[in-house]
Amino acid sequence: MYEAAMIENDETLMVKAAWLYHVGGLNQAEAAERLGLTRARVNRLLADALEEGVVSITVDRQLAGMVPVEEELRRRYGLRFCQATPALDLKPAGREETDRAGLSATQKVAFRAVGLLAANHLRAHLARDEPSTVGLGWGRTVEQMTLHLAGVSAPGARFISLMGSLTANSAFNPFELVYTLAKRTGGEGYFLPVPFIADTLEDRQVLLSQRSVTKAMAIAEEATLCMISVGELEENSLLRRQGMLSKADVASLRAAGAIGDTNGIFFDESGWPVDHELNRRTIAVSFDTLRHLDVVLMVASPEKTRAAAALLSSGLVKGLIIDGDAALQLLAKPG
């Protein structure tokens, strides 16, 4: 039995382990014996199944008492809908250690929880009897959404990035996110074949004039759903960690009034793009275009509520998916 298990690839074993544990009702020791593996190996396979979206877990959020919070946020910001995960009150006793990506265990829970809700929303959108064109932002929250979208077939769907690509290769790069969703659903993937920020204003105009770019922009403008996230303009922000912004960039953006960004467009306390050279060199679908589309904002972790409140106040966002602790903090802000 052990030799048979050894010749199977990890993906097959992962599915079998997940099936035996989650569907068959076996515990890890029993699943390990059935597969001829060690319990530690089965534990790792089950963790990978969750991480890669092979297994999707649903929790009835209505029982978490968040409905009044969702409704108040929906009313305050004029949203079509608001969904919040349970408030877990995950407050560490001291300073939490972070991984290489700068995430603490608490933040990881928030990203995964919001990603799960967002995947459910996207799944419902793709199941409609209408053509779907999904515009995608970037970042860890959007990445988690792609990982939780399992078992969906949507060969007629189109996925399009709403911004240029990062220079650093990562799982949350717009190109990778589009590719992953297209592969998982059998749909078509399109992306802006340009850098996230052009070197000069002249370079930006040249890039935007390319046929492949104008075609991608036209597809984005037809999006039936846009899933975006938001970032705070801090020294430890993802853009800063990815090397897309220098320390001087952060300082000059703050001087211009910027407090956060979405899709690489920096905005102020009112949620409007600031007058800054980086905004003029960024290659992304504009706020003016997004205002006419069905934009859903994903917010994971309370650290992002200041930027989220600003963007929500602008009227750009139609729907909100947020973790419960961030929702409570957002609700506590003056309306």
Q: Give 106-151 as a DSSP string.
A: HHHHHHHHHHHHHHHHHHHHHTSSS--EEEE--SHHHHHHHHH--S
pTM reported for the whole predicted model: 0.82
273-325 pLDDT, tens digit per residue, is 999 999 999 999 999 999 999 999 999 988 899 999 999 999 999 999 999 99
Tokens, residue 305:
């509520």
pLDDT, average across residues 171-183:
86
Lowest-pLDDT range, 32-46, 74-88, 94-108, 140-154?
94-108
User: What's the confidence (pLDDT) of residue 324?
Assistant: 92
Would you place residue 86 in the very low, low, confident or very high pLDDT band (cuts 50, 70, 90)?
confident
Sheet containing 260-262: which strands, arranged edge to edge?
A: 231-232, 260-262, 265-267
The 3-state DSSP class for residue 294 equals: coil
**pLDDT over 80 (residue 181):** yes
Identify which has the larger pLDDT, 193 or 79.
Answer: 79
Specify the residue for token string 């050894």. Answer: 6
- Region at 13 (left for phi over 0; alpha for psi -120 to 50; beta for the rest): alpha
- DSSP of 79-91, one letter per residue? -SEEEE-------
Confidence of residue 17 (pLDDT cuts 50, 70, 90): confident
Q: Report the pLDDT averaged over residues 54-75.
A: 77
Q: Which helix (H) or strand (E) holds 267?
A: strand 265-267
pLDDT in the model for residue 326: 94
- Residue 34: pLDDT band with limits 50, 70, 90: confident
pLDDT of residue 169 exceeding 90, the answer is no
What's the pLDDT score for residue 7? Answer: 41
Lowest mean pLDDT among 25-39, 159-173, 310-324: 159-173
More confident residue, 32 or 159: 159
Work out the end-to-end distance of the chain between its first and last CA atoms, rounded to an integer number of angstroms.
63
Pick from 185, 262, 194: which is nearest to 229 by CA? 262
Confidence of residue 4 (pLDDT cuts 50, 70, 90): very low
Q: What one-character-per-residue DSSP string does 184-240 give?
A: HHT-EEE---SBSB-SSHHHHHHHHTSHHHHHHHHHHTT-SEEEEE-EE-STTSHHH
